Chains A and B, each alone.
Chain A
């Protein structure tokens, strides 16, 4: 299970801006914007069923992401 957490689009991301600002010195062009987020890989005991998915969604909304400033997305992987 993968949980990706990103700052909400309207919130300033100075880390992403710093990465963007470093690109010209690397000779990289054509990049319009960079935003930085967090990526969590979560293994569950047993089957990945609706119950497990619900628990991970709760975990993402209470601990992994702060819904005041961040959005999160869940996807099954692997």
Chain B
């Protein structure tokens, strides 16, 4: 039985189907999870996908944080279950305080949609063991509110503890501090990314297949933990 990766659908999620496809391409079983449920259906890992949960009303991710499923996601993350938040999912993880900092309106105000070069900074997370440290990978970004912000002390701690997971190279699309594109928690099981690895899993329809390694990494991680 392949490892099961739960993909949460909030009202307004857009990329849940692409994440499920990416999980399948990586050899796992994707399990749909509903925002209103308090049941994780026995999954081994969880992805919060991109989109506009609850219309992005108030702040991106602010209302999704209080969805019934998030109580279970926060508890599971605390037990060490791998959790990946992509784009809006990253915003939800920050609002839930599973990750430090916040994501604000892009410095240039424009919604940015493009293939983005990234440098892999940490392969010590549940989602990045299959990547090469320092490697240049390409994945799409598509967001209006991706400017990662935290106080200097938090930024220094993230850098010092090796918790910056990926950084923008060849141009920062949103003005994020220290070119941060993704971070992890202290335990390395919770990762938030603004770029979309699920849209970079098949060279036929994406700029690269670099994103597949993230989904393959977590499948290795959960098999190793079992």
Contact = CB atoms under 8 A, between A and B. Distances in A.
A64 interface: yes
A63 B66 contact: yes
Nearest to A17: B109
User: Among the interface residues B95, B149, B150, B175, which one has the most CB atoms of the partner chain A within 10 A?
Assistant: B149
A11 B149 contact: yes
B94 A68 contact: yes
The listed residue with most A CB atoms (<10 A of its CB), out of B58, B95, B101, B150, is: B58
Contact of A12 (B66, B100, B107): B107
Interface residues of A, number: 11
Q: Is the interface of A mostly helix, strand, loop or mixed?
A: mixed
B109 A68 contact: no
B62 A15 contact: no
B109 A66 contact: no
Contact of A69 (B63, B104, B109, B175): B104
Contact of B102 (A15, A64, A69): A69
Given A63-B58, A66-B59, A66-B102, A15 B109 contact: yes
Interface of A: 7, 11-12, 14-15, 18, 63-64, 66, 68-69
Interface of B: 58-59, 62-63, 66, 94-95, 100-102, 104-109, 147, 149-150, 175
